[in-house]
Amino acid sequence: MSDEKLKAKMEQVTGSVKESLGKLSGDKSLETEGKVNKTTGKVDEVAADAKDALDGLAKGLKNKTKE
């Protein structure tokens, strides 16, 4: 797992915790912040997956041209 994907997953976990704490305490601001963190983490994870896929494609193409 890439560092970027790990950071994205951690952002999602942080968001989930904040959202849950916000719901439990009735703090709408904290709940909303958690939702934003979760969404940001998901977007970052998709971006990291896309980057990894493109890196893999580039390496595959590079290896094909060497043959």
Q: What is the model's pTM? A: 0.80
Helices (H), 1-67: 3-25, 28-66
Q: Degrees (nearest 5) of the Cα angle 51, 4, 8?
A: 110
Q: Residue 11's domain spans which residues?
A: 1-65
In this predicted structure, the answer to whether residue 67 has a pLDDT above a threshold of 70 is: no
Residue where the block lists tokens 């912040």: 33
**What tens digit of pLDDT does each residue of 28-52 get?**
999 999 999 999 999 999 999 999 9
Instruction: Give the gyration radius of the chain's Cα atoms.
Output: 17
How many domains are contained in the chain? 1
The C-alpha atoms of residue 14 and residue 23 are separated, in whole angstroms, by 14
